[in-house]
Amino acid sequence: MGRKSMIASVVAIAGTTTVLLGKKGMRAKVKQTIHETYQKVTGKGEKDEKEKQLKIGYSHPHDYEDNKMVGEGALTSVQYYNKKQQMSHQ
């Protein structure tokens, strides 16, 4: 690509961006399109968010990582309670 065509491309992109983002409605559409494209590329989307919301508070019996985390959290509170009990009996 020659220098002139590169400069022409940059000017065209800048002009298009100015026109698209100059109007508030178009700005919102561009922002939404970029957000949707990002979700598709990264694999993150509303489906993932809904699954997370459903999962909160309900540990599936076969989700070993989640059960391990819940167990560690429960163990921490038991250790804290035992430590307080031992200190009060000394």
Q: What is the pTM of this model?
A: 0.33
Rounded Cα distance, 32 and 51, in Å: 22
Would the pLDDT of 64 be above 70? Answer: yes
62 pLDDT tier (thresholds 50, 70, 90): confident
53 pLDDT tier (thresholds 50, 70, 90): low
Q: Which residues of 58-89 are buried (b: 16+ CB within 10 A; e: fewer)?
A: eeeeeeeeeeeeeeeeeeeeeeeeeeeeeeee
